[in-house]
Structure 1
Amino acid sequence: MTRTLQSFAVLALALVLCLAPDRPARARELSYTVTATLPHDEEAFTQGLLFAQGQFFESTGLYGQSTLRRVDPATGKVLARRELDRNHFGEGLALLGGVLYQLTWRQRLVLLYDAATLEPRGSLPLETEGWGIAATPFGLVTSDGTPTLTWRDPLTFKPGRSVAVTDRNRPVERLNELEWAEGWILANVWHDDRIAVVSPATGKVAAWIACAPLRARLPGLPRESDLNGVAWDPAAKRLYVTGKNWPAVFQLKLEEWPAP
């Protein structure tokens, strides 16, 4: 290649690089320390988990086996329990204003309960499949297995604002269990041992929490033992993580949240 052709090739490459769109930075993984391993009912097909008033509230799934539970974190003992109708498949769970909101998978219903007594308080319609739900300062936010998160009116459950979740400009499919923590939405991904740390404003994934090392501590888990329980303790700044039929709940201390 002549010197002229070499110079032309260099100029052409420089032009391509200048015109190419900026590639977004890869979302980093957050470091954490396991500070405690707590017992968990292996029979619980966990679909939703939250921490409030020093206790866990848990939603479990499967037809004919779905429940709503109040659980002692230290012992794993079920302190109170309510069985769902056999035709209801329990999903995500949120607490707002003293009311528990429990999603159902394909029944197009949101079941309401008094948080103090677990007594039923009626239901609300849901136009999509129910997967995950969390209480935020802006109302309730839900997932339905797609990349879309939708905010809803707590009184009617009608949809309002929605946001598409992306990582490096690619949609993140199968969003499931949700939690609100430190201004972020935490969303675990079905069939993936990772939790996305999502901006509620833009839907962009700012970081990931890799939970495969937690699963590795639990050999012999059944096939459908997906990571599917994420709860945040805002007072102690602790994250609790478990899954379907996991015999343990892991208490995590995150080393550093992403910059806002």
Structure 2
Amino acid sequence: MTEQLRVEVLETLAHDAGAFTQGLELDGGTLYEGTGLVGKSALRVGPLGQPPVTEIPLPSPLFGEGITVTGDSVWQLTWQNQTAIEYDKATLTERRRVSYEGEGWGICQQDSGRLVTSDGSAELTFRDPATFAETGSVGVQRDKLNELECVGDSVYANVWQTDEILRIGPDGAITGHIDASGLLSAPEAGGADVLNGIAAVPGTDEFLLTGKLWPKMFRVKFVPTAP
């Protein structure tokens, strides 16, 4: 049975309204954010709730997409450039670039160690965290899967152009529908783009949510929808 959930806001945080958010990850108290658009893409790193301390721009024509922290590395996808960038987490220097086929949208790492990536379709692809090679895939009964966050065996996925987040099991089954609508006021939403950016808060059942060009970020819980 698919659980119906909604967002309960616990805290509202500042967010750079100029950030075209493509990936979000919280590691300890450090927030990693990947942004997109050619000439404006970057990896941003800094304390949660504060401006980034470090910003690493991606040179044109790279269009940044999802990010994830894996051990002592940070991976960042690109949209149509078929290139993944691996950074050293401690120094944030670039280690290497790896090629892959198709588009890059979202990425996260499961507890098993394998990477999960999306490309805007209804398929999630599994990858080796050392080589980035494909190791398998699973179909989901919903397309436009975008930014991803792994929690245990589940994958949380933003659905592009909607206010919906899906919780997806390891077999591709949708186990939860999360309604994340209404986070921004009408004036705020008028200057913003889509919901995109979900990061689990380690050691809790909480998440961070934001979007492309959003002026706010939210610390939230996913709670059952009232019958």
TM-score > 0.5 by shorter chain: yes
More helix by share: 1
Which residue identity does 2:5 align to in structure 1?
L
1:73 is aligned, of 48, 71, 78, to 48
The alignment of Structure 1 onto Structure 2 pairs a total of residues equal to 223
Q: Counterpart in 2 of 1:180?
A: 150
CA distance in 2, matches of 1:233, 1:116: 20
DSSP 3-state at the match of 2:157:
strand
Mean Cα deviation higher: 205-214 or 33-42: 205-214
Of structures 1 and 2, the larger Rg is shown by 1
Does structure 1 retain, via aligned residues, the 8 Å contact 2:188–2:215? no
CA distance in 1, matches of 2:9, 2:16: 19
Higher relative contact order (CA 8 A, sep 6+): 2
Does structure 2 retain, via aligned residues, the 8 Å contact 1:47–1:229? yes
Q: Counterpart in 2 of 1:90?
A: 64
CA distance in 2, matches of 1:78, 1:28: 36
1:253 is aligned, of 215, 221, 225, to 221
Normalising by structure 1, report the TM-score.
0.82
2:128 is aligned, of 136, 144, 153, to 153
Q: Counterpart in 1 of 2:37?
A: 62
Does structure 2 retain, via aligned residues, the 8 Å contact 1:218–1:246? no
Over residues 1-56 of structure 1, what are the superposed CA-to-partner deviations in whole Å (9 max), with x where a residue is unaligned?
A: xxxxxxxxxxxxxxxxxxxxxxxx5x332144211000000010000000002121
CA distance in 1, matches of 2:25, 2:116: 14
Does structure 1 retain, via aligned residues, the 8 Å contact 2:86–2:95? yes
The gaps in structure 2 that reach 5 residues or longer are none
CA distance in 2, matches of 1:211, 1:58: 20
1:214 is aligned, of 183, 198, 217, to 183
DSSP 3-state at the match of 1:255:
strand
More strand by share: 2
CA distance in 2, matches of 1:140, 1:165: 17
Q: Counterpart in 2 of 1:225?
A: 193
Normalising by structure 2, report the TM-score.
0.93
Q: CA deviation at 1:249?
A: 0.6
Q: CA deviation at 1:182?
A: 4.1
CA distance in 2, matches of 1:173, 1:92: 17
DSSP 3-state at the match of 1:50:
strand
Q: After TM superposition, where is structure 1 displaced by more than 4 Å over at least 4 residues in a row?
A: none
Does structure 2 retain, via aligned residues, the 8 Å contact 1:132–1:177? yes
1:52 is aligned, of 27, 37, 58, to 27
Q: CA deviation at 1:254?
A: 2.6
Q: Counterpart in 2 of 1:115?
A: 89
Identity among equivalent positions (%) equals: 39
Does structure 1 retain, via aligned residues, the 8 Å contact 2:6–2:180? no
Does structure 2 retain, via aligned residues, the 8 Å contact 1:181–1:234? no
